[in-house]
């Protein structure tokens, strides 16, 4: 039997999270420290302390690290509540990239690595980075990785150029993907390294100007120049980076969907209110069919997205890896929510593209969501490849 009942404790926690976000975080949306390059570290720290005081910080962390360890299905409800403000997940410490990085590190970091690079992120005292994408190498196809790591038997020396690296400026826990080449001392291939952002040779060339503005410290171009790391900085095993990246990606794609579902709901609530009070041609605009259909299409899309997310979460909770399912869900949710946000802008008329409401900001950020953690076309490519393979 399929049961859509939300457990009482989960519903209560979601209500608490939503209340916290509305009462304490929404006001920061007008704070000048929410810049074109995302919230500053100062703003982030202030909001994190508010969440800590409410006992809500990093609620998703594994129990062994002091969190509540909700199931994937429970996370769907909780992250949706957090996403009501684009700053909510930042405050609660369940925003990208930290959330996905914490998930991965909890799975594969050893005790020493977890103490140095995971616990401080869970505690909200440090931020983290996942550095994979390159201007002329890894992107949709991580197999094109160009950054190299050479091993002399004692240390690895990393060289390469990364970009679109979220949160690079000021982050301490860095996960870097590099290709261990021609290693006479052991295994080779794409590998994850874990190190301090202050390691010599990690140079942030610039912060890119982007459409979105809700990731702390924006997105950086990072030169890795003779970054020397001890053998102990390998995360997991040499040559396994692509497998680990997949481990991180399936749930991380879904948590993006959950957070943006919350933001799209907020945009819809603002559009509905506007359609009730704004009048044109003798009646509220919501009574014109053109507007009412947009709002109805939004309600249908929001519920479609919610159900799709819940389904994929259920698969993960049953122990499935969820690669195919999370691809399907990410592709459809990012496209549908983007259309929801676009229709909300339309219902608002001219103010829809202004910062008089958060809808324009949600719309711009939603555009980026169609690209990261796999552009829609790449998910469709992977889905179709599976369909066409003989083992499907």
Helical H segments across the chain, by residue range = 8-20, 41-53, 72-82, 88-92, 98-108, 111-113, 119-122, 241-277, 289-317, 323-348, 359-369, 376-388
For position 255 contacting ligand FAD by CB under 6 A, the verdict is: no
How many residues can be counted in the chain? 392
Burial of 319 (0-12, 13-18, 19+ CB in 10 A): exposed
User: Residue 130 CB, nearest distance to ligand FAD (Å)?
Assistant: 5
Contact at 8 Å (CB) between 219 and 209? Answer: no
x-or-dash pattern for ligand FAD, window 85-104, by CB under 6 A?
A: ------------x-------
Give the nearer residue to ligand FAD in terms of CB position, either 124 or 218. Answer: 218
Among 108, 241, 261, 368, binds ligand FAD (CB under 6 A): 368
Burial of 17 (0-12, 13-18, 19+ CB in 10 A): buried
For position 291 contacting ligand FAD by CB under 6 A, the verdict is: no
User: Residue 326 CB, nearest distance to ligand FAD (Å)?
Assistant: 15
DSSP tag of 386: H
For position 161 contacting ligand FAD by CB under 6 A, the verdict is: no
Give dist(CA 187, CA 183) in Å, integer: 6
Following DSSP, what letter does each residue of 120-160 receive, concatenated? HHHTTS--EEEE---SSSSSS-GGG---EEEE-SSEEEEEE
For position 378 contacting ligand FAD by CB under 6 A, the verdict is: yes
For position 338 contacting ligand FAD by CB under 6 A, the verdict is: no
Give the nearer residue to ligand FAD in terms of CB position, either 102 or 368. Answer: 368
User: Residue 137 CB, nearest distance to ligand FAD (Å)?
Assistant: 9
For position 145 contacting ligand FAD by CB under 6 A, the verdict is: no
Give the nearer residue to ligand FAD in terms of CB position, either 310 or 363. Answer: 363
Relative orientation angle of helices 241-277 and 323-348, to the nearest 10 degrees: 30
Relative orientation angle of helices 98-108 and 241-277, to the nearest 10 degrees: 150
Q: Given the rule CB under 6 A, which of 2-10, 12-20, 124-132, 287-295 is the region that contacts ligand FAD?
A: 124-132
In Å, how far from its chain's centre is CA 85? 14
For position 372 contacting ligand FAD by CB under 6 A, the verdict is: yes
Q: Which residue's CB comes closest to ligand FAD?
A: 139
Among 128, 133, 255, 334, binds ligand FAD (CB under 6 A): 133
Give the nearer residue to ligand FAD in terms of CB position, either 284 or 375. Answer: 375
User: Strand 148-151 and strand 173-180: pairing?
Assistant: parallel
Backbone angles phi, psi at 107, to 5 degrees: -85, -40
For position 381 contacting ligand FAD by CB under 6 A, the verdict is: yes
User: Residue 39 CB, nearest distance to ligand FAD (Å)?
Assistant: 14
Angle at 20 between CA 19 and CA 26, to 5 degrees: 95
Among 90, 91, 131, 308, binds ligand FAD (CB under 6 A): 131
For position 361 contacting ligand FAD by CB under 6 A, the verdict is: no
Give the nearer residue to ligand FAD in terms of CB position, either 72 or 253. Answer: 253
Please list every residue from 195 through 214 that binds ligand FAD, using CB under 6 A.
Answer: 212
For position 306 contacting ligand FAD by CB under 6 A, the verdict is: no
- Interface with ligand FAD (CB under 6 A): 97, 130-133, 139-140, 164-166, 212, 219, 368, 371-372, 375, 377-378, 381
């Amino acid at each position: 039997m399929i049961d859509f009942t939300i457990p009482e404790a989960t519903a209560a926690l979601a209500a608490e999270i939503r209340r916290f976000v509305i009462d304490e975080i929404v006001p920061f949306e007008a704070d000048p420290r929410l810049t074109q390059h995302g919230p500053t570290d100062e703003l982030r720290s202030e909001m994190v302390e508010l969440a800590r005081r409410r006992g809500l910080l990093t609620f998703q962390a594994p129990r062994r690290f002091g969190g509540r360890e909700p199931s994937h299905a429970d996370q769907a409800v909780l992250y949706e509540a957090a996403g009501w403000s684009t700053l909510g997940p930042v405050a609660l410490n369940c925003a990208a990239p930290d959330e996905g990085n914490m998930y991965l590190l909890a799975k594969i970091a050893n005790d020493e690595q977890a103490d140095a690079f995971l616990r401080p992120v869970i505690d909200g005292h440090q931020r983290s980075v996942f550095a994979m994408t390159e201007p002329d190498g890894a992107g949709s196809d991580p197999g094109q990785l160009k950054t190299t790591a050479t091993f002399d038997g004692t240390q690895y020396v990393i060289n390469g150029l990364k970009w679109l690296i979220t949160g690079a400026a000021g982050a301490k826990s860095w996960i870097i993907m590099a290709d261990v080449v021609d290693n006479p001392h052991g295994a080779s291939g794409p590998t994850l390294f874990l190190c301090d952002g202050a390691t010599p040779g990690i140079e942030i060339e610039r912060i890119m100007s982007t459409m979105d503005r809700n990731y702390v410290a924006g997105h950086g171009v990072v030169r890795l120049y003779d970054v020397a790391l001890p053998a102990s900085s390998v995360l997991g095993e040499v040559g396994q980076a692509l497998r680990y990246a997949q481990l991180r990606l399936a749930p991380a794609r879904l948590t993006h969907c959950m957070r943006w579902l919350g933001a799209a709901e907020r945009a819809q609530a603002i559009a509905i209110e506007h359609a009730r009070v704004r009048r044109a041609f003798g009646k509220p605009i919501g009574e014109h069919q053109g507007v009412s259909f947009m709002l109805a299409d939004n309600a249908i899309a929001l519920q479609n997205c919610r159900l799709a997310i819940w389904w994929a979460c259920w698969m993960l909770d049953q122990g499935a890896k969820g690669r195919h399912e999370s691809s399907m869900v990410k592709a459809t949710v990012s496209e549908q929510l983007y259309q929801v946000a676009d229709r909300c802008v339309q219902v608002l008329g001219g103010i829809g593209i202004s910062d008089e409401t958060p809808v324009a900001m949600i719309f711009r950020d939603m555009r980026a969501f169609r690209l990261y953690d796999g552009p829609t076309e790449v998910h469709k490519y992977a889905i179709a490849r599976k369909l066409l393979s003989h083992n499907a």
